[in-house]
Structure formats: structure tokens, C-alpha cells
A and B are shown apart, each in its own frame.
Chain A
Amino acid sequence: MFWHVSRLVITTWRHRLAQLLRRLPGLWMLLPLLLLVLPLTGLLMYGFFRELGESLLTKGALEELLRPLLTLSLCNFFLIFSFIILTMIIMLSPDDTRLRRMMLPLPLSALQLRIGLLLPGLLTLLVVQGLLWGPALFALMTLGLITPFQLVLALVLALLCYNLLTLAFHQAMLYGALRLFGGEHQGVRFSVLGLSLALGLVLLEAPFFTLLPGLSTALPLWTLLLPARWMALVLEPDLGAILSGVALLLAATLLAGLLYALLLEGCERLASGTRGQWAPLRRLPFAPPLWWTACLYELKSLCRSPYLVIDGVMIFGMWLAALVGLLLTRMANPLFHLTLAQLVPPLFLPLLAGFGQSSWGRDRRAYRLLAATPLELRLLISAKFWTCLGLTLLLWSLATLVLLLVAGLPALLLFWLPPALMLTPLCFLMGILLPYSPDDPLSMLTLGLALFLVDLPLSILYVSIQRVLPALPGGSWVQMLIEVAIALVLVLALYRGSLWLGATRLEHERD
């Protein structure tokens, strides 16, 4: 019986993949490549680790020094790939809790349902991960660096542990989102998984940046906290290390399994009928004139969109990482520090400008309702446009200014002001042309790609203008004023364009 449930899951994967291919036709060309990648990567891993093992790990004293670090890197690589693959599978899979709710009235036992839902993902995962990592560990075995027993033990325990840790991590993020936003936002799941993927990768990689510079002898004790270290211990020649590694992996597996089960239950409770209460600015009253009321309407809408909140958390995380990076590298690595400082303004700009992208689509369901009131929809579009622009500029300026002050380059903010003025209106207009749909997370992907295609020629144009302007008399301040003036003219043009396009779209959208 559980096999029928598994078939349903596989059918859902097929539909999701088909949907993705419809959205991104170019992906058809990549599919055969992706299928070949697995065995090829496995082969490459075998070759690479065989070479590495032969040249570095069988030379006595050098082996003593390098083996722990290289083994740790291999295991971390293993962990990261497991994390990414499982996350992709979760993203493509149907929402577990909704599917379970749907199937509750059917003549299926809880165990049949659970096995049926997990089996396809689990099997795929084990095959993929085994194909990727088995050859690498096999290479180490052929060099006599590990025994066959260690290979099997490490592979099985690590796969189990790391997959459960990944599941527990994602489930914890989903639980947090459900507590905040309630269980009815289907698209939130996709966005939260994106955020937890990014966060997970940062957490897995970050310790290695602090580890590498000072490494000369044995690994420090705190590395025992890293999941990758537990697998690395199992691959050590010392029996004590192997047993420690096994114990740590088993303990983590049990804890992760328990946590995952508890969180899954918690998510099921929240998913059925609970309502999110995330409603900031509740006490901010609407007030005349009507245009200001419409601006406040847009501001509340921005703050309460779960997807924008999740994106905002991600952007904040990146900002924090940039701040820490700038503080740490100020003395330690001036070149990196300078490069990072210069990357900061253009990095945050498109991320924040994306808030304008979703503006039109966010209220698509409300336009019909509001069109039956005395509210002029042109007024609403106008308020949305200026609110998005104002908010984006404010957030970008504050975020960038703090980072540039730390870097000692505050004047760089002015250099990026003209593009900062233009990007949000452009995103706003694109958002009307290719509307975002809250029920279809892939709509943002299409929009993002379209924006990327438009951004490229515009960036080239901007750089070309930058080359011409210094030739004008008056120095850099005059140049700056001219750029800002051009930017303002373009903003007005984009504003008029948005009004016209929005009105045209509303006229043509049928009942």
C-alpha cells in the first residue's frame, strides 16, 4: 500500500520538474548533463582522492600533518553536498504535512503513509550520495589509508546522521516560519527552504575560514563540534578516534531524529488551521490625504509579506556577514577588505530593489475589489511606486553607509546613488510586466532572470556614461550632479511608464 503513496510523491516530482522546465526551457539542455554528472563526479572523486592520497597522504611526516585537515575537508565536502542534495529533494517534494492531511481519511495506516512519503526521497538520496562519495572513500581504501570496514561504517553512519541533521535543520526553520506566518502560505515553504539552504551553507563553511589561517599542527578541540569532524574521526587510523567518531555520529543521529520527529509533529499542528499573527505596524493608522493612506497601505503590505520578510532576513544575514568580514579583515587582509568594501553597495542594491518587483503582484487579488471603490487605481499604483522607491533607498543607504563607514569609504555611497535611484523603479515596472504570484514561487525566478537580462545592457550603458562624463568640465561634483539628474529623469520616465502599464494591464485583465 505504501508504494502507491510513493508513486504519488514521484508523480509530484515529475510535475514540479515539468513546471520548472516550462518556466526555464533552457533547462532541457542541462538535464542530460545533470544525469551524467553523478557517475562522472564519482569517477573524478576517485581519481582526485587517489592522486591526493598518493602524493600527500602516504609520505610519513607529511601525512601526520595533512591527513587530519584533508580528511576533515573531504568530510565537510561530503556534508555540504548531502545538505544541498537533500534540500533540493525537499523543495521538489510535495508539502509533507498537507499531503498527510489530505490522506488521513483514506484507508492507510500511519506507518504506511510515513514510509510511502519518505521512501522515494530516501532511496534517491542514498543512491546519489553513495554514487558521489563511495568512489572517493574507495580511493582512500585502495591506498591502504582506511579499511573496508571504516569505509562502510563512515558512509552509512554519515549518510544517516547528516541527512537527519539536514531534515531537522530545515524542519526547525519551517516551524519558525509557521509560528510566525501561520500554515496557509504554501509558497512560504519554498522561500523558507531557500533561506535555510543559504544559512546552512554559511554555517557549514564559516568555521573553515577561521580554521585555515592558523592551522599548522593538530586540529583544535572545538572542531569536535563540527559534524564533518565526526565522520573524519571514523576515517582515522586510531581505534579510539574511530570509536569516538561512531559514538558522536550515533548520538547526533538519535538527537536529530528525535528533534525532526518533534518538529514534524509541531508543524502538523500548526499547519492545520492555525493562523499567523505577523502584522507589524498594526498601530500605524491610515490618515488623509488619500495618497498617504495608499502609501501606508503599501508599507504595511511590504512588511507583512512572508516572502519579503524571509528575503529581508537573508539580506540582513548577508549584511551581518559583510560587517563581520570588514571588521575582521581591516588589519588582517587590507586587499580583501578593500575589495569587499567596493562590492558592498552593488551587492545589496539588487537584493533590496527586488522588494519593488513583487509590489504589483502582491495585490493582484485585491485590484478587482478596490476597483469597485472610489479609489483611483492610478493613485494606488503611484503610492506603491514611491513607497517602494523611498523604502528601498532608505534601507540601502543606511545598510551601505554603515558598512562603508567601517571600511573608511563613505563617499562610495554617492557613486552608487544614481543606479540606486533607478533600479527599484525598473524592478517595479518589470513586476507589472511579469507579475509575481504569491502562490507560485517560481514567478519570482522568472522575474529575476528577466531582470538579469535587462540589467546587463543597462550596466554596460552606465559604465559607458561613466567613461564619457569625466571629459566634462567642473570636476567630479558636476559629474555627480549630472548623473543624479539623468537618474531622476529616468525615474520619472519609469514612473509614467508604470502608471500607463498598470492601467493597461488592469483594463485587459478579464473577469
Chain B
Amino acid sequence: MQASLLEVRQLSQRFGTFTAVDRVSFTVTAGQIVGLLGPNGAGKTTLLSMLVGLLPPTSGSILLNGEELQRVPSRKKAFFGFVPDSQDVVDHLTGLEYLQFLRHIYRLSEEQWNLVGDYLALLRLEEKAHHLLETYSHGQRKKLQVIAALLHQPRLLLLDEPLSGLDPEMTILVKRLLRRLRERGVGVLISTHDLLMAQDLCDEVILLHQGQVVAQGAQQALLEHYGVANLEEAFLQALGLAQQEKELDRVLARF
């Protein structure tokens, strides 16, 4: 059995009377890609925020490589790499300066730092490296965040919409990159709306709706359980959205 890199047990997050995440449990092991799927407002980003330590959970626990996250000192955050979905960047630094800044935070070895040129070339960012981050497009920021997450060679990757804003060439590249990392024993948790990508990449999927897990398990098992051929149909069935087709016909009847 593969080592558990991330273990989430009965994790909940409440904001006043509103429950954003409700008793969610799952595991990410080494060499596994897990997809976290759900509609807008399902609680995916809130869940990820708790996993990276941005938001303390209301209840439940998060074990990072066997250690409770809340008790993990800051330097142990080098265990994972995080690619956020938001446009939050350090605007006033150039791309290269930002990576240099992270070099010192993560205390990269000379060997690790020497790979930065290769990453920039691979993701077509060499020409933008000396430009301020505020001048980057959405896709360029995403690419830089991917590099920032990989530079310190983490064992676990937490990705929030990793392909948003990427052109087709980069989308294919990032997907191949994730598959190669999986082969090297890296565990990956991807939060995404992109069901096709999830179907293509993920070993296991977790369907989240209104903060709760409505379906969870190996992809193939889920498809068999719902008796469908693809994740899109499974998603609609799990969320009770089978009426969507009829609603669409009704709205467009007078178009």
C-alpha cells in the first residue's frame, strides 16, 4: 500500500450559520491523482484553503505526511506545492525575482535552483521572466505559479484549476507533467470544474456539492455505480441535475 501523503478526516468549515465544508474525508497517496469536482460554491476552494493552512478548520483534522497540519511548523510547508486559482500574485516583483524570493524561502539547493531556466523555457516564460508580474496575463500567472509550486520538488501538489487560462499547447504539457510526476511518486490533488480533464487525469474523484461529498471513489467504479459512460453524466446524476436538458429546451424555446 502506498504511503498516505495527505489524510483528511471529517473536515468541516463553518462561517457563522453557513457550513461551507461538511465532514469531508479522503486520502491522497503517493503516485495518485485525485480530482476534487463540484459546481461553483461547492466548497472546493475553502477546502483547499484549509489544506494549505490558510484557514483553520472548524472541526476535523488534516494529516500531512502523518503529522497534524496545525502542529506542523512553517518550514514543513515545503512538503507540498500549491497552485492557487486566484489572481493573487506579488505584483511588484518580476517573474524571476518572485522565483528568487521563493528560492530563499524554500532554501533551494544550487541544483534545484539551476532548473529554473529549464522550467521557464518549458512553460514558454523566458521572455516574460524579467517583466513585472502585474503585466502577466492570467495564463502566464498560472504558468509561473506552476513553476513556483514545482521548484522545491514537493511530494504533494495541491492545484486549484491548474489549466485555467492556459493555451492548448500548455494544457497538454501540464497534463503530461502531472502524469510524469505521478509516475515519480508525487501525490496530486486537483480542484477543477473541468470534467474532461478530470476524466483524463484522475485516478480517484471526489464530487462535492454544497460542502458535502456526494460521491467518491475510483473513477471507473463511479461510472459503473451510476451506469454512465463519462464523468459528465455521473456528475449530473450525482448532483441531481438530470432536468438540466429540459430546462435548457424551455429557456431557448423562444430564442
Contact = CB atoms under 8 A, between A and B. Distances in A.
A282 B88 CA distance: 21
Nearest to A293: B104
Contact of B104 (A282, A288, A363, A376): A288
B97 A368 contact: no
B46 A511 contact: yes
B102 A373 contact: yes
B123 interface: no
Contact of A368 (B15, B78, B84, B101): B84
Given A297-B93, A304-B92, A373-B106, 16 more contacts: A182-B135, A184-B134, A277-B131, A282-B130, A286-B100, A288-B104, A301-B93, A305-B92, A365-B87, A369-B88, A371-B54, A372-B84, A374-B76, A374-B78, A375-B74, A511-B45
Residue of A290, A365, A366, A369 with most chain B CB atoms under a 10 A cut-off: A369
Interface in A458-494: none
Contacts of B100: 285-286
Interface of B: 15, 45-46, 49, 52-56, 74-78, 82, 84, 86-94, 97, 100-106, 130-132, 134-135
Contacts of B130: 282
A374 B84 contact: no
Residue of A293, A373, A507, A511 with most chain B CB atoms under a 10 A cut-off: A373
A363 B78 CA distance: 22
A182 B135 CA distance: 8
B97 A282 contact: yes
Contacts of A371: 52-54
A184 B131 CA distance: 14
A279 B52 contact: no
Contacts of A293: 101, 104-105
B103 A304 contact: no
B88 to A, nearest CB: 5
Contact of B91 (A287, A365, A376): A365
> Which 3 interchain pairs have the tightest Cβ spacing?
A275-B135, A304-B92, A372-B52
Contacts of A370: 90
A300 interface: yes
B89 A366 contact: yes
Interface string A286-303: 111010010001001100
B166 to A, nearest CB: 19
Contacts of B75: 374
A361 interface: no
27 contacts: A184-B134, A184-B135, A276-B134, A278-B132, A279-B92, A279-B132, A285-B100, A286-B103, A297-B93, A304-B92, A305-B92, A363-B90, A366-B88, A368-B49, A368-B54, A368-B84, A369-B90, A371-B54, A372-B52, A372-B53, A372-B77, A373-B105, A373-B106, A374-B106, A375-B105, A510-B15, A511-B45
A278 B74 CA distance: 33
A286 B87 CA distance: 24
Contact of B94 (A279, A363, A510): A279
B206 to A, nearest CB: 19
A81 B69 CA distance: 62
A507 B55 CA distance: 7
A374 B132 contact: no
Given A368-B54, A372-B52, A374-B78, A290 B105 contact: yes
B205 to A, nearest CB: 23
Residue of A285, A300, A366, A511 with most chain B CB atoms under a 10 A cut-off: A511
A354 to B, nearest CB: 18
Contacts of B84: 368-369, 372
